[in-house]
Structure 1
Amino acid sequence: MTQPSRTPTQITDSSGRTVAANVRRVRESRGWSTYELAQRLKEADRPISPSAVAKIERGERRVDVGDLMALAVALAVSPSALLLPINVDPLDDVEITGSTPVSALDAWEWIDGRGPLTLPPQSAGMHRVYEEVAQYRLYGRPHWLAEMEREEDEGREPRTRASRMMRAAGLESYEAEDGKRRIRRRQDEGRSDGPSMD
């Protein structure tokens, strides 16, 4: 007895469709076949066959959280690069599963951990807006990262990965003090820090 043919799955939610399109976009921009991407996924201990990669790209196979992370690693992009549309203008509306449409800028700020997806209307008062942002940072960001970002926003620290790594390792004070000592030593020796004006 033959089995009836199965209707292929069709991903209908907006975020699922975006992931499908972005996997294809990044794979093709890297010049990889579905076989090459499948090989990279296998090397990352998340085997997904080439035919399954093609189904993902056609929106015929769901991507679970583990798949999403492995795809982002294999494609050398952040998970956010797969979750949101990239070829849009900042004020264009984008659809996110579970939300009403929001601007691309708001969506990227949210997914990159910079703030809530939506804020209360200003008529609710600035206290309510502040409370929403504070709760977002409290529950959605590690305290140490929120502190680094606050220092960077205030201009006290540069916003670079190297600077963050040094601060996390406790090297910022050592490096700053060491630099000050070298400048004082040069000044004491009668040398200038800059090029000679002779």
Structure 2
Amino acid sequence: MADEKRRPRPAAQYGPTAALVARNVERLRKTRNLTIYSLSAELGKAGRPITPSAIAKIEKMQRQVNVDDLLALAVVFGVSPAALLLPLEDSPRHTAEITGAGAVPADSAWAWASNKRPLKFPPGEQRTAEMEYALASLPPNAREARQHPAGRAIEAAYEDVTRVIVRAAWSVEGDEHEFIDALDQARASLERTLAELGRLAVEHEELVRLRDGVPREGSD
């Protein structure tokens, strides 16, 4: 009926990711020393205008951010979209609440968001899951580099060096053995990386020799 009062629109249902986006928008805005008015102006320049009142509502969790807003905000803030989607914490001792996955180790959440590895995989099937993840998630050049033995060695070395740096801080609190073990593992990973890069260089030299028809030294 015409005289019936219009029912109020139900409040948006905020999941953990939407709530994180709201907090991260406010955090990054303040980090960049932007008011809601100056942020609105920058978004307008970027071709994705959001009014100051809408920005205030985003931060108060009264207005959700859609994907186009999210990317425009990331561009204006000068960050990866992941910086809006995840908490500013990547210690394995902390967890991140991911919509659809629940609580996961914070470092795993960031590795997933950074296109490094799947968020979860069945026990004993890590290698298969990582290959399928690379096939579905990465563009051709990044996928080829990730699947090459040298690329895998570099990825592993990066993970191990990161672990050393983290445990260096923990060792001050008494975890000295963890730091030493991580340091040994990182050294071994770096040695494997150098070995794989050496093999890659030899393979490349062989391909160039075959292309140019240069006989191998010592051959008739």
Q: Say yes or no: TM over 0.5.
A: yes
**1:138: which partner in 2?**
135
- Asked whether the 8 Å contact 2:89–2:106 carries over to 1, the reply is no
TM-score by length of structure 1 reads 0.69
Amino acid in the other structure paired with 2:134: R
- Asked whether the 8 Å contact 1:11–1:60 carries over to 2, the reply is no
Q: 1:38-57, aligned counterparts within 5 Å? A: 38-57=40-59
Give the C-alpha shift of residue 5 in structure 1. 8.2
**2:18: which partner in 1?**
16
**2:115: which partner in 1?**
113
TM-score by length of structure 2 reads 0.63
Amino acid in the other structure paired with 1:132: A
Deviations 1:9-43 (A, max 9, x none): 34420000000000000001111100011001000
Match of 2:83 among 81, 84, 92: 81
Identity, % of aligned positions = 38
- Asked whether the 8 Å contact 2:90–2:107 carries over to 1, the reply is no
Deviations 1:142-198 (A, max 9, x none): 12012334544435xxx9xxxxxxxxxxxxx9xxxxxxxxxxxxxxxxxxxxxxxxx
Amino acid in the other structure paired with 2:132: Q
Task: Classify 1:153/1:131 alpha carbon distance in 2 versus 1 (closer, same or farther; 3 Å).
Answer: closer
* RMSD over equivalenced CA pairs, Å: 2.8
- Asked whether the 8 Å contact 1:11–1:59 carries over to 2, the reply is no
Provide the C-alpha distance between the structure 1 equivalents of 2:41 and 2:61, rounded to a whole number of angstroms: 20
Amino acid in the other structure paired with 1:110: W
Match of 2:31 among 29, 32, 35: 29
Give the C-alpha shift of residue 6 in structure 1. 3.9
**2:183: which partner in 1?**
none
Provide the C-alpha distance between the structure 1 equivalents of 2:50 and 2:130, rounded to a whole number of angstroms: 39
Give the C-alpha shift of residue 55 in structure 1. 0.7
| Count of equivalent residues | 155
SS at match of 1:95: strand
Provide the C-alpha distance between the structure 1 equivalents of 2:4 and 2:22, rounded to a whole number of angstroms: 32
